[in-house]
Amino acid sequence: MIDPQPLAERIIELVGDRAEAQVLVESGNRSLTRFANSYIHQNVGEDSPHIVLKVIDDGRVSSAAGTRVDDDALRRLVERALDSARHQPVDRDWPGLASAADPPAVEHWDDATASADPAERARRVADFVAEGTGMRAAGYCETTGLTAAFANTAGQRVTGRETRAIIDGIHQTDSSAGAAHQAGVALGPIDGSEAGAQAARRARESASAYDIKPGDYEVVLAPECTATIAAFISAYGFNAKAAIEDQSFVVLGEPQFDPVIDLWDDVTDPRALGVPFDADGVPKHRLDLVTAGTSTALAHDRRTAAKMDTDSTGHAVPGGDTWGPFPTNVFVGEGTTSVDGMVRSIDRGLFVTTFNYCRILDPKTQVVTGLTRNGTFMIENGAITGAVTNLRFTQSFVEGLSGGNVVAVGNDGRFADSEFGPGFVHAPSLHLGSWNFTGGTDG
């Protein structure tokens, strides 16, 4: 693996005094074992650095990216960025570079995961597949080990490293499917048998699904659903750029959620994934977004912080000039209720395992439309009595978590595969008093 820190230093040296500059270099391995029809069909690995350079020439900003690390390639990268900057309009909102500051002393790293070979991933795939006798299994097992180095011409220098491991898969019958997902810093605790058993059970139990009428239903939402809600609320609501543009629902200091809801971003949590600084080299720290139902903070990068006369919270992301800052280490506070306890308390409702193809209709109210997938089940008289066909919902995520609608919060928090991808949100199940289903999968 190439050490990214000397590369970052060399790029800053090549820019010299011709412009302001910042560079982020990532180096390491990303390895993936894919399976379909219950067989592994692909092992792929990437072990190359990725360089993102931003230069600022008299207020004109430009970026360039590359993967070549020989000195001639680095020179070309720098010259390309400088030449592009000269042709850009002046960016009057450019906030300047991050000054020198130390990130928190945390490292989400596991040596065994960083060096995991295909056989170790294959064992977990085999365990997953074995739980679905007579079914077709598909999915992937992934391991990643990356080191990141950031440098700028203002003197900021930070490095960090991370590992992560994921298994994500489905079991399918001719008429149904069930999914399961696990993620964390280390491959060791990833249990293919446990994930496979959950996916197979959901597939078997949803094989004879029937249609129901749309309407408002009391629901138990599995962690994947909760994670999607948290991802949308974080990215579209607690994003300071959205607030500046009057596209956010957030009113700081207002009780916008049920008092049992806590939402925060914290790279220092031992369970978190990632490195403790953002794409602008700003250190990350815990940021409480919702405390006991009250909205308490926005996520900022340097650009939004300058506009709102505050400090960056360390939430710059690649492409953030367009999308704005948003949290990437999101935690939804756990409760004390088991999923079985939630189900037992419902006379008539639905248990939903996964949301799919969610699209925001109104960011100001967080009205989102989407579908259920891979197992939706009827609850009657405190028990799951059968599977129902997939449903479309149209629902404000903020109203869904509003005061009085959150009946219980689960004790089963884990990393869940949200609509924004894996490893982004750690969330429990939720019991909500009402959720608005507007039709079947056709409308």
**What is the tens place of the pLDDT at every residue in 218-242?**
999 999 999 999 999 999 999 999 9
Query: What CATH number is given for 4-202 in this structure?
Result: 3.30.2290.10
Alpha-carbon distance 414 to 194, whole Å? Answer: 14
Task: Give, for 370, the enclosing helix (H) or strand (E).
Answer: strand 367-372
C-alpha pair distances (Å), 80 with each of 21, 66, 85: 13, 11, 9
Contact 35, 167 (CB under 8 A): no
Alpha-carbon distance 114 to 31, whole Å? Answer: 10
Q: Which of 113, 184, 77 is CA-nearest to residue 417?
A: 184
Task: Break the chain into its structural domains and give their ranges.
Answer: 4-202, 209-443
How confident is the model at residue 5, as a pLDDT? 96
Q: What does the radius of gyration of the chain's CA atoms come to, in whole angstroms? A: 23
For residue 36, give every residue at least 6 positions away whose Cβ sits within 8 Å of its Cβ, in sequence order, or none: 136, 137, 138
* In the block, residue with structure tokens 């037992």: 344
Contact 240, 312 (CB under 8 A): no
**What interhelical angle do 71-86 and 4-15 show, nearest 10?**
50
Alpha-carbon distance 31 to 183, whole Å? Answer: 14
Angle at CA 180, nearest 5°, toward 178 and 186? Answer: 165
Task: Give, for 128, the enclosing helix (H) or strand (E).
Answer: helix 118-130
pTM, to two decimals: 0.95
User: In this structure, is the dihedral angle defined by the CA atoms of residues 179, 180, 185 and 186, taken in order, positive or negative?
Assistant: negative
Alpha-carbon distance 283 to 281, whole Å? Answer: 6
Dihedral of CA atoms 304, 306, 309, 315 in degrees, nearest 10, equals 40
Alpha-carbon distance 35 to 266, whole Å? Answer: 33
pLDDT digits (tens, 9 = 90+) for 293-322: 999 999 999 999 999 999 999 999 988 888
Mean pLDDT by runs of 10 across the 443 residues of the chain is 93 97 96 97 92 96 95 96 96 95 96 96 98 97 97 98 97 95 97 98 94 96 97 96 97 98 97 96 98 98 96 92 92 98 98 96 95 96 96 97 98 92 93 95 61
How confident is the model at residue 322, as a pLDDT? 86
Alpha-carbon distance 278 to 196, whole Å? Answer: 35
H runs (alpha helix) in 338-380: 339-344
Q: Which of 325, 332, 327 is CA-nearest to residue 400?
A: 332
